[in-house]
Amino acid sequence: LANLLGSLLIMFEKPFRVGHWIKLGDTEGIVESIGFRSTRIRTFYNSLVSIPSNTLVNSTVDNMHMRTYRRVRTTLLISYDTPADTVEAFIEGIKQLVLDSPHTRKDRYRIRLDDFSDFGLQILVNFFLDVANTKAEQVERQQILMGILKLAESMDIQFATPALMPVPEAPQNT
């Protein structure tokens, strides 16, 4: 009975529809069907999860499909050898890439020197895309990230990577 009432609430309130990307606890995926007893979600591992309607009604459902903007957040790690003036110019260049894109939110972005790590300078890149779907999000995200890569190349900025130290072989007993 609880599942039937839950399914009726889902059908009337419509917090999500078939085809929407939702998150519910540890479950995340695309809604494949909404039934009286349960809702089926196809996860990004391609498994099918059935969630009882009563569980859905009593849980927090994050409908990713209904986002107005899509957040992009990454941290760039650049070499400590980069001069401070070059770091500032690089940050300004990234800001300009975000502002020049027709698909970014202009009032909420953050690009800044964020921290000093063991391996390099951390630059936070955080902005929002105004796109209709995941495919467009991936295309626009790549456009801006490629722009950042080209900007770094043009400014001769090296991305830092953690150094892997070879482990010396133990002497062999003879």
pLDDT surpasses 70 at 7: no
CATH number at residue 140: 3.30.70.100
Assess whether 77 and 32 both reside in one domain: no
Assess whether 19 and 59 both reside in one domain: yes
Q: Which residue has the tokens 């999000």?
A: 137
Backbone φ/ψ region at 19: left (φ over 0), alpha (ψ -120 to 50), beta: left
Helix (H, G, I), strand (E, B) or coil at 76: strand
Tell which of 41, 66, 91 closes a domain: 66
Backbone angles phi, psi at 77, to 5 degrees: -115, 110
CATH number at residue 21: 2.30.30.60
Domain count, the chain: 2
* pLDDT tens readout for residues 54-109: 888 788 888 888 778 899 999 999 999 999 999 999 999 999 999 999 999 999 99
Assess whether 82 and 24 both reside in one domain: no
Residues 6 or more apart whose CB falls under 8 angstroms from that of 123 comprise: 75, 76, 77, 78, 87, 90, 91, 94, 111, 112, 113, 114
* Residue 92 structural domain: 70-154
Q: Residue 77: its pLDDT value, please?
A: 96
* pLDDT tens readout for residues 27-59: 999 999 988 788 999 999 999 999 988 888 788
Assess whether 88 and 150 both reside in one domain: yes
Q: Which of 71, 69, 48, 62 is nearest to 16 (CA)?
A: 62
Q: Which helix (H) or strand (E) holds 10?
A: helix 2-13
pLDDT surpasses 80 at 167: no
